[in-house]
Amino acid sequence: MTTIFAALGPFGDAIDFIFQQRESQAGTVQVGGLGEIWELTWMHLKLSLAATAIATAVALPIGVWLGHIGRYQFLAISTSNIGRAVPALGLVVFFIAFLGVGFGNVCLALVLLAIPPIITNAYVGIRGVDRETVDAAKGNGLTGMQIAGRVELPLALPTIMAGIRIALVSVIATATIAPLANVDTLGRPIVSPNVYGTAGQLAACIVVALVTFAADAAMAALQRAVTPRGIKIQASQSRSRGRRFVSPKRSIQST
């Protein structure tokens, strides 16, 4: 086992850090090991999920409402343009510098980071619902509230979930700098290599990457699960129709 780790170089050392405790760089405390890694991971997840949940609670109604009334497109789209131009690092550090350290402040910064993609995707998803479907619902006597809740929202769910997925992934990535606000996430070994050593730094990176991929996969599964059956059938039909349409054209080109 040790020889394999040695062959992997710095990566072997990092994997060893994840599973076994060792002395810190100064030799004063014990760092690493599954216990501490799990503690940091749990804090990382708590922070990211809290921020994404709050952002969803705030942004989803706004996005759905804007999409439902079909106005203020400029507002809905430019939120995400502005959100992209503001660097994540600057945003988080700005909050720490002006509001001070602590879980709440860094969480608020991450909420602001997560809101733009959720609003934009909710808006685009709701606007993307077939107008004829909405007209049919109107003709059946559904009120505006009912149309938004029972027709538009279910049909837009895949796009909405994609927005939440983007938000969650970027929040998990940015929560890495939360230790600047004294919140001990997986970023702690990354920003203080003087305590954890380069092995701890690399180990935390590997764990953050794994956590992100796991969260992304979970959201992808959730996205598939909430997709209404009608949309799935429609998608597979249009795909086969597309193929039929393409094939004669191809044969013309090849001759």
Partner 1 sequence: MSDLTYIPVLAQLNDDFFGNREGAADRCPGNNGLCPGWIADNFSDYLHPFWEHVLLSIVPLAIGFVIATSLALFAHRYRVAQPFFLAFVGALFTIPSIAFYLILLNITGRGFGTAVVVLTAYTQVLIYRNVMTGLQEVPAETVDVANGMGLSQRQILFRVELPMALPTIFAGLRIAASSTVGIAGFAFFAGAGGLGGEIFSDPAFKGNVVTASLLMILLATALELIVLLVQRLCTPWERAVAT
Of 68, 63, 58, residue with least CA distance to 152: 68
Q: Which of 41, 190, 197, 200 binds partner 1 (CB under 8 A)?
A: 190
According to the binding rule CB under 8 A, does residue 208 interact with partner 1? yes
Residue 2 structure tokens: 């040790």
According to the binding rule CB under 8 A, does residue 94 interact with partner 1? yes
Name which of residues 30 to 89 contact partner 1 (CB under 8 A).
Answer: 81, 84-89
According to the binding rule CB under 8 A, does residue 244 interact with partner 1? no
Contacts of 250 (CB under 8 A, 6+ apart): none
Smallest distance, Å, CB 9 to partner 1?
Answer: 7
Q: Pattern 153-172, binding to partner 1, x per CB under 8 A? A: ----------------x--x
Q: Which stretch binds partner 1 (CB under 8 A): 35-43, 117-125, 180-188, 228-236?
A: 180-188
According to the binding rule CB under 8 A, does residue 239 interact with partner 1? no
Q: Pattern 215-234, binding to partner 1, x per CB under 8 A? A: -x------------------
- How many angstroms separate the Cα of 104 from the Cα of each of 48, 68, 121? 12, 32, 26
Q: Which of 118, 151, 157, 177 binds partner 1 (CB under 8 A)?
A: 177
Amino acid at 205: C
SS3 state of residue 30: strand
What would you report as the CA-atom Rg of the chain, rounded to the nearest whole angstrom?
A: 24
- Looking only at the bridges linking them, the beta strands covering 30-32 and 21-23 are antiparallel
Which phi and psi angles does 25 have, rounded to 5°? -55, -40
Nearer to partner 1, 66 or 190 (CB): 190
Amino acid at 190: I
- How many angstroms separate the Cα of 75 from the Cα of each of 8, 121, 145, 166, 251? 50, 13, 22, 20, 46
According to the binding rule CB under 8 A, does residue 146 interact with partner 1? no
Q: Which residues bind partner 1 (CB under 8 A)?
A: 9-11, 81, 84-91, 93-94, 96-98, 169, 172-173, 176-177, 180, 182, 187, 190-195, 201-202, 204-206, 208-209, 212-213, 216, 245, 249, 252-253
